[in-house]
Amino acid sequence: MNGRSKSSFLASAAIFIALEIAALAMLGSSSTIQNTWFNRMSHRTASFFWSGGQRVRSYFSLERQNGILAEENFELLQKVIEYESLLGEKAALGEVDWIVSDSLLKMVPARVIRATMDSQENHIVIDKGYEDGIEPDSGIITGRGVVGIISAVDRHRSYGLSFMNSNFILSARIGREGIIVPLQWKGTGTDRAVIREMSLHNVIEPGDTVWTSGFSDYFPADIPLGITEKTSLTFGATSEVEVRLFQDFSCLKYVTVVNYER
Amino acid sequence: MKDKHYFLLFVILIVIQMFLDSFLNLSHYLSISLLPAMIMCIPLRSGTSFTLLVAFVCGFAVDFFEGGVLGLTSVALLPVALLRGYIFRLCFDFETISRTEEISVRKMGLPRLLVSISMGLAIFLLIYIWIDGAGTRTFGFNLSRFFLSYVADILLATVTLYLFSAQADR
């Protein structure tokens, strides 16, 4: 291909790409069906590549993940033993009935394909969809806390709002019997949250555990979230409490999707 | 002068296309379009860049005046304009293409011209039907629509080809 025909070919290609993009943009803005279809196709293509990249990253962090999973297994085993002994005691006393929960909790394990952390409105993509039993508006948790809420579901992919999103506010409780507070991501860091606009008469000690309150439509009560740290005064009128989360979002690999029906 | 006649013929055919889209809705399985044949019949002396611009404008005009989905026809027509040169090189030898400036049945022969136009038409219909369906229609429906539209449009393309040939042979 000589120089002239090469430049002519490049010019034609550039014009084609520009006009095709313009036509696709017009198509996307003038038709909801095509727009939805484009978005679905682009998400499927993107999640295919994210999934591949995540597999590579997971391969190189297997040892660390195994350690985390082993710790979680141990904690769960301890809880199971504790509940079984509690159930035994209650059954002996004839008080079994109150242990039967009146809520239905459906759980689906999933793997994180993508969890963004670089903006103020982060989102999460997992490898399960409606064919795997995932429903929109389900909570995403791990053994270390709340991760997000499912917002959109594809066949084998689900997209969710991450806890690391400025629009995500979680109803939490300080201590087992303490006050109900709104917990949200601090805006920086991958394991930092904050309780804002606390009244000054509420004194929060550092080291208190923060739990889900149970007043949310997405998460059951008593999921541990983090530990309170320092309290600071805001504009002299309210206080702000920093919380160190148990879940570090920078190493989020395996999650559980909960469909919590009250 | 010849270019003016080509331009006039183009405009008339686009108006006919708009009438066909607006008033002739025979079936969901039929997509009648003169545009791929028109793009393929643009004189060879016009470069690919010009053909791309014409394809974009024609597609936009048809969608705009017919009240259809803006951009749909252009998205399907632009690949035809881009690949037009390659299709002709595939169907004709280098000498024929270098000697011929305008599409003419007399100079290039009807069978090969129909083959090349049908390839352009197939590309257009594949993209158009796929995007128009947007994942909401079954493969069977799309396939039936493709074949029925292809048969109908080939007949119209033959008429279009003769109209442009008449211009070229003047």
Distance CA A248, CA B68 (A): 50
Are the beta carbons of A26 and B70 closer than 8 angstroms?
yes
Residue type at position B32:
I
Task: Give pLDDT tens digits for A57-79.
Answer: 778 878 777 777 877 777 787 77
User: Rounded mean pLDDT of chain B?
Assistant: 88
How many angstroms separate the CA atoms of B32 and B153, rounded?
Answer: 6
Which residue of chain A has the CA closest to B58? A23
* B168 Cα to chain A: minimum distance (Å): 25
On chain A, the residues whose CB falls within 8 A of the CB of B134 are: 31, 33-34, 36-37
Give the number of other Cβ atoms within 10 Å of residue A258's Cβ.
Answer: 20
- Give me the residues paired with residue A210 across strands: A174, A226
A128 pLDDT higher than 90: yes
Chain A hits for B136, CB-CB cut-off 8 Å, are 33, 37
Neighbouring C-alpha atoms within 13 Å toward the C-beta of B117: 33
For residue A150, the model assigns a pLDDT of 95
DSSP letters along A17-42, please? HHHHHHHHHHHHHH-HHHHHHHHHHH
Angle between helices A3-30 and B72-91 (to 10 degrees): 150
Its sign, for the CA torsion B92, B94, B95, B96, is positive
CA distances from A241 to A146, A232, B19, B31, B103 (A): 18, 6, 69, 64, 78
Confidence of residue B65 (pLDDT cuts 50, 70, 90): confident
- List all residues 6 or more positions away from A229 whose beta carbon is below 8 Å from its beta carbon: A206, A241, A242, A243, A244
> Are B56 and A19 within 8 A, CB to CB?
yes
Q: Amino acid identity of B80?
A: V
**B40-43, long-range: CB < 8 A, 24+ apart:** B40/B80, B40/B84, B40/B87, B40/B103, B40/B116, B40/B117, B40/B120, B40/B157, B41/B103, B41/B117, B41/B160, B41/B161, B41/B164, B42/B6, B42/B84, B42/B103, B43/B6, B43/B101, B43/B102, B43/B103, B43/B168
Q: What is the pLDDT of residues A139-176, one digit of tens each?
A: 999 888 999 999 999 999 999 999 999 889 999 999 87
Query: Does the CB of A37 have a partner CB in chain B at under 8 Å?
Result: yes
Per-residue pLDDT, averaged over B45-65, amounts to: 90
Scanning every residue of chain A, which has its alpha carbon at the shortest distance from the alpha carbon of B135?
A: A37
Give the mean pLDDT of B3-16: 87
Q: What is the pTM of this model?
A: 0.64
pLDDT at B137 over 90: no
Say if residues B39 and B50 touch (Cβ distance below 8 Å).
no
Answer with the residue of higher pLDDT: B137 or A70.
B137
pLDDT of res. A92: 54
Length of chain A, please?
Answer: 262
The conformation of residue B68, written as its DSSP 8-state character, comes to: -
CA distance B48 to B46: 7
pLDDT value of residue A100: 43
- Among the listed ranges A113-117, B75-79, B95-99, which one has the minimum average pLDDT value? B95-99
The yes-or-no verdict on residue B80 having pLDDT over 70 is yes
Say how far apart CA A70 and CA A151 lie, in whole Å: 30
User: Which residues are CB-neighbours of B7 under 8 A, at least 6 positions away?
Assistant: none
Asked whether B128 and B76 are in contact (CB, 8 A), the reply is: yes
**Residue A18 at interface with chain B, using a CB cutoff of 8 Å:** no
Report whether A247 contacts A88 (CB < 8 A). Answer: no
Other beta carbons less than 10 A from residue B72's beta carbon:
25
Measured in angstroms, the CA of A121 and the nearest CA of chain B are apart by 29
pLDDT digits (tens, 9 = 90+) for A222-235: 889 999 999 888 88
* Substitution target from A9, A19, A34 for chain B, most B beta carbons within 10 A: A19
A225 dihedral zone (left: phi>0; alpha: psi -120 to 50; beta) = alpha
**Strand-pair partners of A174:** A210
Q: Give the ipTM.
A: 0.84
Q: Cβ of A16 and B60 within 8 Å?
A: no
